[in-house]
Amino acid sequence: MFRFLHVADIHLDSPLRGLERYEGAPIEKLRNATRQALRNLVQTAIDEQVAFVVIAGDLYDGDWRDYQTGLFLVGQMGRLRDANIPVFIIAGNHDAANKMTRDLRLPANVTVLGHKKPETFRLDDCQVAIHGQSFATQAVYDDLAAGYPAAQRGWFNIGLLHTCGTGREGHEPYAPCTLDTLRGKHYDYWALGHIHQREILHDDPPIVYSGNLQGRSVRETGPKGCMLVTVDAASRVHVEPRFLDVLRWQHCRVECAGATSTDEVLERVGSAFQNLVRNADDRLLAVRVELTGSCAIHKKLTAKKEQCVNEIRALANETGDAWVEKVLLRTAPQEAIDESCLADGPLGELDQLIAEIHVDHERLMGLGESLAELRRKLPAELQDGPDALDFDNPEQLRIILEQARHILVSRLIPAGGEA
């Protein structure tokens, strides 16, 4: 029996720009989060007495600003060397061979697999063969997995691959492959990277995304960490997540429908905070609050947005280990739109067009591209920082569409009710 850790997308020392724009941001904790998560990973490897660690790409976020990133990594890998734990790494799109100009000699226990062709390394003690290939350049569109060697008979075979798989919204389509290709290699475990959400694509054999080690923004919510993989004497595999993040991002949607006062809204927000903190595993929470729903006090919330935001920040401070990254006011007036007015005519066509774009990812992202010129004309505070508009984010584009729909329809339907 042996154990190993599967980790990916560490993005060590990933730059977090514009933090000074965020009120009360725990700047030092945010900036050091990826380092502390790596320390946690190393300590877990030592505590669990794993046989080895595999890192499936994007150990770095890109070229180092200085040598401190490399020196920190050397120190952590040295801890694993002292515990006789080897480490096997492939480069992904962020730390591809052509992106890294600085270099430091890594401890002897660390092996970085090459980018010219798939390589195989064997661990005789546990009869493990590790197959993998690094990215040569940032944009790799070939199916690297297709070129991986066949499984070695009598050994436990691990495939180490940085890939988009069959594609994921919000991720570049790098090194695409299919489940059939991966299964066809007859490996015992596939350790995947690139997709930041933890996911088991297939159970037998396990084909697994570990997700990233530490969430870096509100786009990467929930527990983050690595996979602890246990292989028994019969080569049966058990996979379990180990959460190693030090700061956890959460998206907190608070339904305000029916609320008749700001106190009632704040009560709902406070209750939501308490639930989040209760389930945060003692991590500091970075929370984006979104107020939604039709309510009688929509206009009051809009008119006194700054006061509302500060009240919510104060609630987070009272609740405990939580920091509010941003408050989004997505409420709507209480009065509903008479949908019967949208059945025919130009207004109905406009409403149908908005609905179609809302569910069509390609057209939705095309809308974002068409807004690129608008983005360049926005004030600096709207291009970056807590009030930034992100036209590459499909979720935010859908919210903008829904708000535009309500404004257009409510203004274009005359008081008599007919368009």
Q: Which residues pair with 123 in a beta bridge?
A: 128
Residues 326 and 350 in one domain: no
Whether 36 and 126 share a structural domain: yes
Residue-wise pLDDT tens digits, 297-307:
888 998 999 99
The pTM of this model reads: 0.82
The pLDDT-based confidence of 360 (bands split at 50, 70, 90) is confident
Q: Are 156 and 45 found together in one domain?
A: yes
pLDDT at 397: 78
Instruction: Give yes or no: residues 164 and 65 share one domain.
Output: yes
> The domain that contains 161 carries what CATH number?
3.60.21.10
The string of pLDDT tens digits covering residues 367-415 is 877 776 776 776 655 555 545 566 777 777 777 777 677 667 666 665 4
Which residue range is the domain that position 281 belongs to?
248-335
* Residue 214 in tokens: 């530490």
The answer on 183 and 35 residing in a single domain is: yes
Domain final position from 283, 300, 335: 335
Band (pLDDT 50/70/90 cuts) for residue 417 is very low
Q: For residue 419, what pLDDT band results from cuts at 50, 70 and 90?
A: very low
Give per-residue pLDDT as tens, 6-16: 999 999 998 76
Each residue's pLDDT tens digit, 257-285: 889 999 999 999 999 999 999 999 999 99
Instruction: Quote the CA–CA distance of 26 and 202 in Å, as a whole number.
Output: 38
379 upstream amide cis, omega within 30 of 0: no
Percentage of the residues of the chain whose pLDDT score is greater than 70: 87
| pLDDT number for residue 92 | 94
Exposed/middle/buried for 239, CB within 10 Å: 0-12, 13-18, 19+?
Answer: middle
DSSP secondary structure letter of residue 320: S
154-200 pLDDT per residue, tens:
999 999 999 999 887 767 899 999 999 999 999 999 999 999 999 99
Instruction: Indicate whether 19 and 77 sit together in one domain.
Output: yes
At 390, which amino acid appears?
D
| Three-state secondary-structure class, residue 7 | strand
Report the chain's mean pLDDT, rounded to a whole number.
87
Q: Are 233 and 280 in the same domain? A: no
pLDDT at 320 over 70: yes
More confident residue, 136 or 411: 136
Answer yes or no: do 219 and 145 share one domain: yes
Chain centroid to CA 210: how far? 11
User: Do 290 and 416 fall within a single domain?
Assistant: no
- Domain end residue (candidates: 335, 364, 381): 335
Spatial separation of the C-alpha atoms in residues 161 and 268, rounded to whole Å: 44
239 and 279 assigned to the same domain: no
Same-domain check for residues 56 and 196: yes
State mean pLDDT over 32-52: 97
Of the listed ranges 25-34, 67-76, 382-391, the one predicted with least confidence: 382-391
Identify whether the C-beta of residue 285 lies closer than 8 Å to the C-beta of residue 276: yes
Are 236 and 111 in the same domain? yes
**Domain tally for the chain?**
3
The answer, yes or no, to whether residue 111 has pLDDT greater than 90, is yes
- Boundary (domain end) residue, out of 225, 243, 261: 243
